[in-house]
């Protein structure tokens, strides 16, 4: 039973560019949440997708957007990259309305130069 998978593992982008990160949830899970973890900090909630809609959003600008597909996989898009967007981006999956526990993927390390 595959857990949460994310791609790519590492990514280097230039300031002003756009990036797309991908996530496949754990089998049987229907909800995907995205988090940003800066160095030395805990993960910060970006947004959550369920039934292909954004259900909740954290305190992140509109440059951060996402999508969920019918197979429950998800993408995180970041436009007009800033140096401060350099971080580990974590995807977590869960079952809507059943349990608070979220299961995390290994993350994508984004470096903006």
Partner 1 sequence: DQQVKQNSPSLSVQEGRISILNCDYTNSMFDYFLWYKKYPAEGPTFLISISSIKDKNEDGRFTVFLNKSAKHLSLHIVPSQPGDSAVYFCAASGSDSWGKLQFGAGTQVVVTP
Interface contacts to partner 1, rule CB under 8 A:
4, 31, 33, 35, 40-45, 48, 50, 55-56, 58, 90, 92, 94, 96-97, 100-107
Q: What is the smallest separation between the CB atom of 25 and partner 1, expressed in angstroms?
A: 13
Residue placing its CB nearer to partner 1 in the complex, 56 or 113 = 56
3-state helix, strand, coil in the chain (%, to 5): 5, 50, 45
Instruction: Say what the alpha-carbon torsion angle 40, 41, 46, 52 is, to the nearest 10 degrees.
Output: 80
Q: What is the smallest separation between the CB atom of 15 and partner 1, expressed in angstroms?
A: 25
- Dihedral sign from CA coordinates of 99, 30, 87, 3: positive
Residue placing its CB nearer to partner 1 in the complex, 74 or 102 = 102
Residue placing its CB nearer to partner 1 in the complex, 67 or 104 = 104
Euclidean distance between CA atoms 35 and 107, whole angstroms:
9
Residue placing its CB nearer to partner 1 in the complex, 14 or 42 = 42
Q: What is the smallest separation between the CB atom of 68 and partner 1, expressed in angstroms?
A: 13
């Amino acid at each position: 039973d595959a857990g949460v998978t994310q791609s790519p593992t590492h990514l280097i982008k230039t300031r002003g560019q756009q990036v797309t990160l991908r996530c496949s949830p754990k089998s049987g899970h229907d909800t995907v949440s995205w988090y940003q973890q800066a160095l030395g900090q805990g993960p910060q909630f970006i947004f959550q997708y369920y039934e292909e809609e954004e259900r909740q959003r954290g305190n992140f600008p509109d440059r951060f957007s996402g999508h969920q597909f019918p197979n429950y996989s998800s993408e995180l898009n970041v436009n007009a990259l800033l140096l401060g967007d350099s971080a580990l981006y974590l995807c977590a999956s869960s079952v809507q309305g059943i349990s608070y526990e979220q299961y995390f993927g290994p993350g994508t390390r984004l470096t903006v130069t």
